[in-house]
Structure 1
Amino acid sequence: METVASSSKDRSAEIDRCLSMIAPSASNESKFVGMMILPKLLEKDNMKDIEKVFKGMNFKFLERLLRTNQVEGSELPDSILKEIAVNVLSCFARYEMLASEKNMVERIPALSLLLSPHDQSDVTKEVLQILLHIAVKKEGLVKMLDPDVLKNVFDVLLNTQNKEERESCTELINSVYTRSAQLLDEEKIPSLFSTVKYSLNTLLSILSNTLNNYQDLLKFEALKILSTVLPAITVEMMTQVKLEQEKKIESWLDNLLNGLRQILTSKLNDTLRDNAMLLVSALLRHFGNDWLFKSLQDTKSAKRKKEKAATDKASEPAMKAYAKATFPFLLINLVAIEAKVMLDDINDRVVREHNEEKTIIQHERQARQEMMIPVYFEILEAAMEYLAFNYESNGMDPELLLKIRTTLSEVMEVVSELLKFLQGTRESLDDNLIAQACIRMIALWMAEEGYEMPE
């Protein structure tokens, strides 16, 4: 016991000596040595010492190390000085109570300057983890959403060859926006609302272009971010973004639609397909039905051009134009297939539960169903509304319109079958998310199914 106590006293004395070495009045050389030694003295479970060092830390000198290319009195390379500062901040970032303190939050802009897609050390990886821990409360989120800081993160995301760095960038961006959305949902915070709104210009400009024009893993990283961020953004906020960025909206939507068409016409796993559907439903909510379904107005002329060019060597442009015009039809079919498969699975499970008088728990499958079925229905509802409003249009191919109506009717049969059985169980449907989605779908179908075929 005496040895332990003695060791603890020695460590505490060494910490005190290091803190005196990094005092503002100390020489730069003394500060370098103190900063290098301090992280090695801190034990992760000894909060008393960690808080003591935090309170005695010379954060102004840390800022100098992060920002200055050459510190007077140093014989160490600039990269080593920056690593020293990052190591010190990393020690504090591990602890939630310290990570969001003002002295940490104020380091965000300087830390972001160290992010590099061509980093040969582990500094970029470490900085991304520090930022992930710091940007959790209002002050940290506001700093993190500064366009200059975001651009440094996006620079790494788009240009690094390191998978871990790329995934950390995605995690950081998603975390910042979802935390911001959660805080804004709980409380009106004008500074955060304004910062999130303004930052969406940067995010949408970069990621819509990435989704459309990149043909590698970055396309799917962009999809992952957009399918997380846009569903979290309120309609109120996006309305303001549209008013302020009116000239850019058309370019964003074109890129997003082209990118989604490329993705959804490829073979995908469940996660990527779900992300694509989540993004489609969010875009419909924020930008209305026209951005997706308006190309149906060109299906009649696109079909004529395709048929005319069928024997022509120059038929490729006509085929591409027809594929572009009919993409909404393809999407409706994809959504319908996914919805029917899920609804049939739910129906089978509910029947088994009823017959065997037991609850069947399939956590992952049921969680995915509860998340995705309302998304599928939102897309199909948007298609119904668009067709009900535009069914007299002369631009839509009647044969294609009939196929869409048949597809929607088939989905509604499955929805009705499931809803009838659920109602027959005499259990309350008030808290059943899927049942509520089915009821809404049936109501809309009954209201809109009167649209007729154009002549």
Structure 2
Amino acid sequence: MTSIGSSKADRFAEIDRCLAMISPSSSDESKFVGMLILPKLLQQNDAAAIQHVFDGMNFTFIERLLRTAPDENAEVPDSVMKEIAVNILGCFARYENLVTSKPMTERIPTLSTVLTPNDPTDVTEETLHIMLCMAVTKESMVKILDPDVLKNIFEVFAQTQKAKERSLCVQLVTSVYARACHQLHEKPIPSLTSAVKYSLKTTLSILSQIFKNDQDMLKFETLHMLSQLLPLVPSTVMDKVKHDAEKSYGRWLEHLRVGLRQLLSSRLRDSDRDEAMVVTACMLRYFGPDWLFSSLEQTKACKRKKEKQSEDKKVLEAYADANFPSLLVHLSAVETRVMLDDINDRLRSLHNLNAVVHDEEKERRQEIMIPVHYEILEACIQYLSMHFDNDSNSGTDPEVLLKIRKTLSDTLEIVMELLRFIQDTTDNDEELENNTIAQASMRIVAVWLAEEGFEL
């Protein structure tokens, strides 16, 4: 016992000597040596020692280490100094009461500057871990959502070849937005509302450009981030983003549409196609049917150009862009019909007391994705109802319109068939009210009857 106690006392004495070496009155050489030794004396499970060091830490010097500029003539490389600072902060980040404290939160802007794509050391990964631990308080989230900090994170995301670095960037961005938007859904917080609003301009601008231009796995990881982020944003916040987008930030809206067209024109896994549909539905919800369906007004002109210049790449690109809404509606309608047929078959088997093998994953996907597809189809119905008799729609190829209307009509017949069966076989009104798919189905049928009912 004496030996253990003596050893612990000796270690605390060494820690105190290091803290004295890094005090503000000490020389830079002394501070550097103290910082170099200190992490070696700390044990992550020794909360008392960590707290003791935190209380005596010279955070001003840590800031200086993080800000060290590259200098070829320096005796100690700047990367080593930054690594020492990050290691110290990493010790504190394991403790919730320390990582959320003001001295740590204030380091976020500078900490983000040490992020380096393809870092040969572990500094970038450790820094992202530290920021993940920090991203739980309002103050920390506001700091991380600063556009300059986000740009540093996205630089790593876009340029690194290291899967771990990119994965941590995705985790950090999505978790910050998830927590921030969750708090805003509960109550308005002016500072957080402002941070989310202004950060979205940077986030969506950067991600949409990557989404449009990259044709490798990064495109799919960007899609995943967008599909996680967009459904979270409160409509009140996105309304402000929409207002600014209409004035001067509209380029990213086009980039997103082009990226979605590139993906959905190719063969995709179900999970990737679902994420693309979620992003599409969110964009239609926030920015209205014109964001997607206005390109239909170019179908007639693009068709004529394609007939004359069938090998011209620009003409083919314009033709594909103009016809993308029609393709999207077809894909969404097919997905809807397949899922509704499966639900119909399952419900009829249950009603007839036949054995049914439940696939929970498939049923969960249906509950999530059917309302998403309905949202896309509903936006199409709304667009057609607003523009069908309008002169501005004169540029739309009639064949395209007829195909879209036929697709919608066929799909809505299947929706109504399912609804009739559910209503005929359900005795409990409460059960019907709690049926998400039934409620979503009634909504789109009501929209269809209101806007296009004359066709039935």
TM-score (norm 2): 0.89
* Residue 387 of structure 1: how far off its partner (Å): 1.1
* Residue 14 of structure 1: how far off its partner (Å): 3.6
Q: Which residue in 2 is equivalent to 1:153?
A: 153
Matches within 5 A, 1:414-453: 414-423=414-423, 424-427=425-428, 428-450=431-453
User: RMSD value over aligned CA atoms?
Assistant: 2.7
Task: Quote the Cα distance in structure 2 between the aligned partners of 1:63 and 1:243.
Answer: 38
Deviation readout 1:60-101 (Å, 9 max, x if unpaired) = 111111112389xx9533221111110111112123332221
| Contact persistence 2:108–2:131 (CA under 8 A) | yes
Task: Quote the Cα distance in structure 1 between the aligned partners of 2:357 and 2:103.
Answer: 51
Matches within 5 A, 1:277-316: 277-306=277-306, 308-309=307-308
| Contact persistence 1:227–1:276 (CA under 8 A) | yes
* Residue 358 of structure 1: how far off its partner (Å): 9.3
Change (3 A) 1:9 1:368: farther
Change (3 A) 1:35 1:389: same
* Residue 294 of structure 1: how far off its partner (Å): 1.1
| Contact persistence 2:346–2:356 (CA under 8 A) | no
Which deviates more, 155-164 or 131-140? 155-164
Task: Quote the Cα distance in structure 1 between the aligned partners of 2:311 and 2:294.
Answer: 26
Which deviates more, 104-113 or 76-85? 76-85
Q: Which residue in 2 is equivalent to 1:233?
A: 233
Which deviates more, 315-324 or 427-436? 315-324
Task: Quote the Cα distance in structure 2 between the aligned partners of 1:409 and 1:331.
Answer: 16
TM-score (norm 1): 0.89
Q: Which residue in 2 is equivalent to 1:163?
A: 163
Q: Which residue in 2 is equivalent to 1:261?
A: 261
**3-state SS, counterpart of residue 337 of structure 2:** helix
**3-state SS, counterpart of residue 180 of structure 2:** helix
- The one-letter amino acid paired with 1:262 is Q
- The one-letter amino acid paired with 1:177 is Y
| Contact persistence 2:426–2:432 (CA under 8 A) | no
Task: Quote the Cα distance in structure 1 between the aligned partners of 2:370 and 2:134.
Answer: 35
- The one-letter amino acid paired with 1:236 is T
* Residue 179 of structure 1: how far off its partner (Å): 1.6
User: Is 2:215 the partner of 1:212?
Assistant: no
- The one-letter amino acid paired with 1:170 is V
Q: Which residue in 1 is equivalent to 2:327?
A: 330
Deviation readout 1:169-197 (Å, 9 max, x if unpaired) = 22222222222111111221111111221
Change (3 A) 1:37 1:329: same
- The one-letter amino acid paired with 2:338 is V
Deviation readout 1:112-132 (Å, 9 max, x if unpaired) = 111122532221121111112
* Residue 305 of structure 1: how far off its partner (Å): 4.0
- The one-letter amino acid paired with 1:413 is E
* Residue 315 of structure 1: how far off its partner (Å): 6.2
Q: Which runs of 5+ in 2 are unaligned?
A: none
Task: Quote the Cα distance in structure 2 between the aligned partners of 1:138 and 1:218.
Answer: 30
Matches within 5 A, 1:360-439: 362-392=359-389, 393-423=393-423, 424-427=425-428, 428-439=431-442
| Contact persistence 1:204–1:252 (CA under 8 A) | yes
Task: Quote the Cα distance in structure 1 between the aligned partners of 2:357 and 2:45.
Answer: 43
| Contact persistence 1:387–1:451 (CA under 8 A) | no
| Contact persistence 1:211–1:259 (CA under 8 A) | yes
Change (3 A) 1:89 1:317: closer
Which deviates more, 58-67 or 90-99? 90-99
Task: Quote the Cα distance in structure 2 between the aligned partners of 1:290 and 1:348.
Answer: 36
Deviation readout 1:340-360 (Å, 9 max, x if unpaired) = 222233334444555559997
Which deviates more, 39-48 or 196-205? 39-48
Task: Quote the Cα distance in structure 2 between the aligned partners of 1:364 and 1:229.
Answer: 22
Which deviates more, 150-159 or 79-88? 150-159
Q: Which residue in 2 is equivalent to 1:340?
A: 337
- The one-letter amino acid paired with 2:448 is W
- The one-letter amino acid paired with 1:389 is M
Matches within 5 A, 1:166-205: 166-205=166-205
Deviation readout 1:364-416 (Å, 9 max, x if unpaired) = 33332222221111000001111122222433333322222222222223322
- The one-letter amino acid paired with 2:214 is Y
Change (3 A) 1:345 1:55: farther
Aligned residues: 448
Task: Quote the Cα distance in structure 1 between the aligned partners of 2:310 and 2:176.
Answer: 52
* Residue 212 of structure 1: how far off its partner (Å): 1.6
Change (3 A) 1:7 1:293: same
Task: Quote the Cα distance in structure 2 between the aligned partners of 1:161 and 1:266.
Answer: 25
